[in-house]
Amino acid sequence: MREFIKFAVMGSTVRRALKVALVITPILTVFNHFGEIRDFNLGVVFWFQVGLTFTVPYAVCTYSSAMAAMEEHRKSSA
């Protein structure tokens, strides 16, 4: 677990996850909240849900990148 966290918080992993989340979040937000956006009903609950929506691609990308980096590190250490 410690090794995973080390790779998950690396600058390259964080930058990659942020880029992915910043592209995917607006797409998911439009798909999931089109009615609210159309009606301009953008209250606190909407923005909280957008924040939660951001966490999904960020977490998936972080997990994938950290696992790949761990695997690459193990191969290069062997």
**Structure token pair of residue 38:** 């159309």
CB atoms inside a 10 Å sphere around CB 1: 5
With beta carbons less than 8 A apart as the criterion, state whether 7 and 69 touch. Answer: yes
CA geometry: angle at 56 spanning 71 and 25, to 5°?
120
For the chain, state the CA radius of gyration: 16
For the cut 80, the answer to whether the pLDDT of residue 78 exceeds it is no
Q: Hey, is 39 helix, strand or coil?
A: coil
pLDDT digits (tens, 9 = 90+) for 22-58: 999 999 999 999 999 999 999 999 999 999 999 999 9
pLDDT digits (tens, 9 = 90+) for 5-28: 999 999 999 999 999 999 999 999
Out of 1-10, 56-65, 69-78, pick the least confident.
Answer: 69-78
Stated pTM of the model: 0.86
Distance CA 70, CA 12 (A): 13
